Structure 1
Amino acid sequence: MNSQNTKSQHFGYAAIVGEPNAGKSTLVNALLKQKVTIVTPKVQTTRFRVQGIYVEGNAQMVLVDTPGLFAPKTRLDKAMVKSARDGFDAADIAIFLIDLKSKQSAQQIFDVLSKTRAPDRKLYVLNKSDIVKQDVIDAVKQAIVAQDANAEIHVISALRGMGVDELRSRVMQLLPQAPWHYPEDQLTDISERLLAAEITREQIFLQLSQELPYGIHVDTEKWEDYKNGSVKIDQAVIIAREAHKPIVLGKGGTQIKKIREAAQAEMQKIFDRPVHLFLFVKVREDWAENKAFYKDMGLEF
């Protein structure tokens, strides 16, 4: 699996927990120094746990990007929140990500801590420090210490990379002594087919300003590798209502073309190979109640 002596290895799961749009996915990508999870300005972008793997020296860290903590309403909402809590429960290290721009962000973390037992190794990480004043940072620190006198607090900006290197080093130091679980060159636990679908969904979120993206699912239906190293990918963009079709397609197909071109360019960058992407818009009113969808996402139905 790797060249390290297993007796000297360190390994562990670090789960990033926080409210929607706190910057969890941005932090995961920054800590891993590569993109394994999609990022958009919209809340609840992450629907399932994404694991990214980072190796440094004799230590292997698995970062778990969990869906945000929020009050669930639909079946999908409930599955997402359960996925977040399961990822937290199984972690060796908890990274509590607090959005300094949100007044309730820290309180949500305290609510989680009041209902479950956190790992002994835990870090409070205050994000978006580049866009708030120092007195805001100081007030949140005081609130945390009032709840946890021994709290270890890190102040960062995941987007700007401020404090990220120091946070990464600290997490690596906290990993327990244990054999590695993954090959040295593995970057994530999700398949390329699923990552490709997520990349397209990311572009849909970025380019459609309406609430429509929350009712959209992307499925990689066909993946064909060519001898010249390129790949042909057929994806279904699944929507719940026929009336949504013109919004996704755009006038004369201009919107879906923009989505396809942007997603294809991102895939080529990540997969480091030529990609031929084809998108087909399909209407399935009950897709969010389809058991197979939850299974593909690793969610509980």
Structure 2
Amino acid sequence: MSEQTPAPNLPTRCGIVAVLGAPNAGKSTLVNRMAGAKVTIVSPKPQTTRMRIRAVVMQGPTQVVLTDTPGIFTPRRRLDRAMVAAAWGGAQDADLALLIVDAKAGLTDPVRRIVGGLAKAARSPWLVLNKTDTIPAEKLLPLIAELNAILPFTETYMVSAAKGDGVQALLDAVAATMPPGPWLFPDDDLSDLPERMMAAEAVREQILRQTHEEVPHHATVETESWVDKPDGSVRVECTIYVGRAGQKAIVIGDGGARIKEIGTRARAELEALLERRVHLFLNVKERAGWDEEKARIRALGLEDLG
């Protein structure tokens, strides 16, 4: 990672901000909104984010590195444990933690557990109520009071990540708290996500959006091949792993219709992100218990906890 030189007489500031919350609180939507570009995949399904993804946001001489973390939930599989550990690790490594709470869902048991964990870790995060446009305004202050009774928050912001309401004020306040120091990334970087991982995530997003039942959370994608072509295009081969034969059939669809649509939409997304032509080839494999395999978990950029 290289450091950049700011304009004369403007000292640089830089900090890492962990974005935490329960599944489906809108963390990824908020990170993308603050970054001003799509950095992390988004879907209506919980547990969409599986790894820590960093988005680089420039605010004048200040670089804010937003870390989108997996939603914190009660883990059952080896994969779940790695995801939750990544989320808590993101909070520990950060200069500032933002707890994102779905205002409409309110103070749920998962939110209580997260707030309790933050209190035990002696963290003093900021509270960000998201989706505030979906509930009456008079319900917000009681919710803020309930949350602060468990853990006093340093600051509280109310936003709608989907609409952008309140997001710039939050970003300005976050940037103002960043400590002096050199930038961690070039100022034209959007994310630290490698291109191969970006391709896998683009495909997985379409699986999340286009399949239902048990498939979305029992599928993973790995980029097997990445070949830059002389004409400037890139040939990408990805393998989709699912747990059972029935899930494989759902992903492929009748006559291969669904896998074709997944590929078409993922390719369009990648071409927009990479600004180059992409030749995308997908393969689907049944691999029972992949979410308990160390190699598969490491391929997601997660630390295997056993």
Q: Which residue of 2 aligns with 1:76?
A: 79
Q: In structure 1, what is the Cα distance between the partners aligned to 2:152 and 2:257?
A: 56
Q: Which residue of 1 aligns with 2:215?
A: 212
1:148 to partner: Cα distance: 5.0
1:150 to partner: Cα distance: 6.1
Q: Which residue of 1 aligns with 2:106?
A: 103
Q: Which residue of 2 aligns with 1:33?
A: 36
1:151 to partner: Cα distance: 3.5
Q: What letter is aligned with 1:45?
A: T
Q: Which residue of 2 aligns with 1:165?
A: 168
Match of 1:2 among 4, 24, 34: 4
CA shift digits 1:63-107 (9 cap, x unpaired): 000111111111111111111000001110111111112133452
1:23 to partner: Cα distance: 0.3
CA shift digits 1:191-217 (9 cap, x unpaired): 011011001000000000212111111
* CA RMSD, Structure 1 to Structure 2 (Å): 1.7
Q: Which residue of 2 aligns with 1:275?
A: 278
Match of 2:26 among 23, 27, 30: 23
Q: Which residue of 2 aligns with 1:298?
A: 301
1:261 to partner: Cα distance: 0.7
Q: Which residue of 2 aligns with 1:223?
A: 226
Q: Normalising by the residue count of structure 2, what TM-score does the alignment of the two structures yield?
A: 0.93
Counterparts of 1:1-301 in structure 2 under 5 Å?
Answer: 1-4=3-6, 8-105=11-108, 106-119=111-124, 122-148=125-151, 151-301=154-304
Q: What letter is aligned with 2:155?
A: E
Query: Is the contact between residue 49 and residue 65 of structure 1 (CA under 8 Å) also seen in structure 2?
Result: yes
Secondary structure at the counterpart of residue 227 of structure 2: strand
Query: Is the contact between residue 51 and residue 300 of structure 2 (CA under 8 Å) also seen in structure 1?
Result: yes
The 1:198–1:110 alpha-carbon spacing in structure 2 relative to 1, beyond 3 Å, is same
1:289 to partner: Cα distance: 2.4
Q: In structure 1, what is the Cα distance between the partners aligned to 2:19 and 2:204?
A: 22
Q: What letter is aligned with 2:246?
A: A
Query: Is the contact between residue 31 and residue 168 of structure 1 (CA under 8 Å) also seen in structure 2?
Result: yes
Query: Is the contact between residue 99 and residue 126 of structure 2 (CA under 8 Å) also seen in structure 1?
Result: yes
